[in-house]
Amino acid sequence: MNATLRHAVAATALAACLAVPVFAAEPPDAQIDFGAFAPSDSGGEFVEVHIRSNLIAMAARLAEKAEPEVAQLIRGLQLIRVNVISLDDKNRAEMEQRVKTIRADLDARGWERIVTVQNPKEDVGVYLKLRGDEAIEGLVVTVIGDAKEAVLVNIVGNLKPEKLAMIGERFHIEHLKKLGPVAEPPKAN
Amino acid sequence: MSPPLNTPAFRAVRGSVQTILLGGLALALASVVLLPLMVPAALYLSLRPSGSLDVVRQAVARSARVDLEPEIEIALRPAACALLRAGAALADHPPELHAALGAVRAVEVGVYQVASSKLSAKPRDMLGDIDRAMAARGWERVVGVMNAGDMVAVFAPQKIRSHRDLSLAVLVFDGSRLVAASIRGDPEAVIDLALEHAPRHHAPRLALTR
């Protein structure tokens, strides 16, 4: 019995050790793979920002003195990803399709769509990934603006609802600015 | 009573002492001969641009299929920066200069001119080529901006060892000129210095979208 117990404990410990690297390698649930983007051949604007937790933590530390609000805002974030791609006749259809696919994927994965704007000038979706009733684990913003540019934003980390408007303010994301203090996450069922 | 001078034990001891003395003499002679050669070699190596700037230049040249002629190449590696700090410490300089020298551990700047007249790069390919070349050296791109033929990219190391020792590489390319720079230092000290001398309301805000 003792030998059996020892073998069982050893096997469990071995399985746990093997599992840890797998868990460590998994990206956070709220991280969305938008895929790779390329600048348009017409030379329009292309912006890509991809900042991971190591640099975010350093930026929070550095911003502490000059911008304590920003430091508090970004501390605890794991990923900030922004893509701005200008649209032309060659890539518009492809980008619209990609945004549709991303939105469908978010809906399928249980993300809450909290802002929807669809008019001739812009097509906007703002999604939240909830953790429990009060915490937000991730944010995705998709914008196809005025047929001129597509914007994709993914922020992963410990987000408080009241901070969403501040994120919009600080990073000039219009549709988040408007959320204001009323942006409470819908209660998870 | 001292041991007789002709015993095997005494001969063995004398042999060891002679070996040690000869070895020390050889070492001293080697140092005298090699040191004058090592000092200029060390200075040359500490002032040469590192591999990362070369990688950027080669990646841009390969992707754009152009020749890039160096206009300016300045490199101060850690050893050279340390020498500068030591030299500055001996002279009477403003404290800001000491603070700036203390914050920076290494800095390299290269400015290159496109030698050929026709740029045949596709912007979509260039950024990817540069990303791959820098990734092989342990850098990852954190910001990339392209607009009307201009390109700006900022790279950071994939692994950051310490919050007091950060490296950043920046490249700017407008089709006719490439500027590549890398800096390594204590970002906190650099920011403290900047805050002391820059008006608060001029601090730029990060704008991610219009």
B24 and B115, same domain (yes or no): no
B35 and B77, same domain (yes or no): no
B66 and B26, same domain (yes or no): no
Written as one string, the DSSP assignment of A66-131 is H-HHHHHHHTTEEEEEEEEEE--TTTHHHHHHHHHHHHHHHHHTT-EEEEEEESSSEEEEEEEEEE
Q: Looking at the predicted structure, is the pLDDT value of residue B42 above 70?
A: no
Residue B117 lies in a domain: yes
B76 and B166, same domain (yes or no): yes
Which conformational region is residue B175 in: left (phi greater than 0), alpha (psi within -120 to 50 degrees), or beta? left
> Of A55, A153, A173, which is closest to B142 when you measure between CB atoms?
A55
CA atoms within 13 A on the CB side of A96: 13
Please give the structure tokens belonging to residue A31: 């991280």
**Per-residue confidence band for B62, with pLDDT thresholds at 50, 70 and 90:** confident
pLDDT score of B13: 78
- B1–A contact, CB cutoff 8 A: no
* Structural domain boundaries in chain A: 28-182
Residue B207 lies in a domain: no
> Of B141, B163, B192, which is closest to A61 when you measure between CB atoms?
B163
Domain extent, residue B134, equals 51-202
pLDDT score of B145: 93
Lowest mean pLDDT among A87-101, A147-161, B80-94, B107-121: B80-94
In this complex, do B207 and A171 lie within 8 Å of one another by their Cβ atoms?
Answer: yes
pLDDT score of A108: 94
Interface test with B, best of A37, A47, A88, A149 (most B CBs within 10 A): A47
pLDDT digit string, tens, across residues A138-181: 999 999 877 688 999 999 998 877 777 777 777 666 667 766 55
B30 and B100, same domain (yes or no): no
Give A-chain residues touching B128 at CB under 8 angstroms. 38
B56 and B159, same domain (yes or no): yes
pLDDT score of A102: 95
Residue B147 lies in a domain: yes
Nearest to B157 by CA among B167, B147, B148: B167
Give A-chain residues touching B163 at CB under 8 angstroms. 57-58, 61
pLDDT score of B203: 41
Residue B209 lies in a domain: no
**Alpha-carbon Rg of chain B, whole angstroms?**
26
Beta-ladder partners of A49: A82, B143
B60 and B147, same domain (yes or no): yes
Average pLDDT by consecutive 10-residue portion of chain A (189 residues)? 50 44 61 88 87 87 79 86 91 91 94 88 90 85 85 90 74 67 47
Give A-chain residues touching B198 at CB under 8 angstroms. none
B169 and B117, same domain (yes or no): yes
B183 and B124, same domain (yes or no): yes
Taking residues B179-192, what's their average pLDDT? 81
Give B-chain residues touching A50 at CB under 8 angstroms. 140-143
B81 and B32, same domain (yes or no): no
Nearest to B168 by CA among B86, B65, B80, B53: B53
Task: List, edge to edge, every strand of the sheet that includes B166-173.
Answer: A112-118, A122-131, A135-145, A149-159, A77-86, A46-52, B139-147, B150-157, B166-173, B177-185, B104-114, B68-76
pLDDT score of A127: 94
B61 and B41, same domain (yes or no): no
B131 and B36, same domain (yes or no): no
Residue B2 lies in a domain: no
This prediction's pTM: 0.73
Q: Which helix (H) or strand (E) holds B109?
A: strand B104-114
In this complex, do A66 and B195 lie within 8 Å of one another by their Cβ atoms?
Answer: yes
Higher-confidence residue: B144 or A58?
B144
Give A-chain residues touching B141 at CB under 8 angstroms. 48, 50
DSSP state of B209: -
Taking residues B5-30, what's their average pLDDT? 80
Between residues 145 and 174 of chain B, which touch chain A (CB distance below 8 Å)? 145-149, 156, 159-160, 163, 166
ipTM of the complex: 0.75
Q: What is the mean pLDDT of chain B?
A: 77
For chain A, the residues whose C-beta falls within 8 A of a C-beta of chain B are 38-41, 43-51, 54-55, 57-58, 61-62, 65-67, 82, 84, 143, 151, 153, 170-174
Question: Nearest residue of B to residue A142 by CA position?
Answer: B209
Taking residues B189-198, what's their average pLDDT? 67
**Burial degree of A37 (CB within 10 A; 0-12, 13-18, 19+):** buried
Spatial neighbors of B173 by CB under 8 A, at least 6 apart, are B60, B126, B150, B151, B179
Residue B210 lies in a domain: no
In this complex, do B210 and A172 lie within 8 Å of one another by their Cβ atoms?
Answer: yes
Residue B16 lies in a domain: yes
pLDDT score of A179: 64
pLDDT over 70 for what percent of chain B? 69
In this complex, do B147 and A45 lie within 8 Å of one another by their Cβ atoms?
Answer: yes
pLDDT score of A183: 45
In this complex, do A46 and B146 lie within 8 Å of one another by their Cβ atoms?
Answer: yes
**Per-residue confidence band for B25, with pLDDT thresholds at 50, 70 and 90:** confident
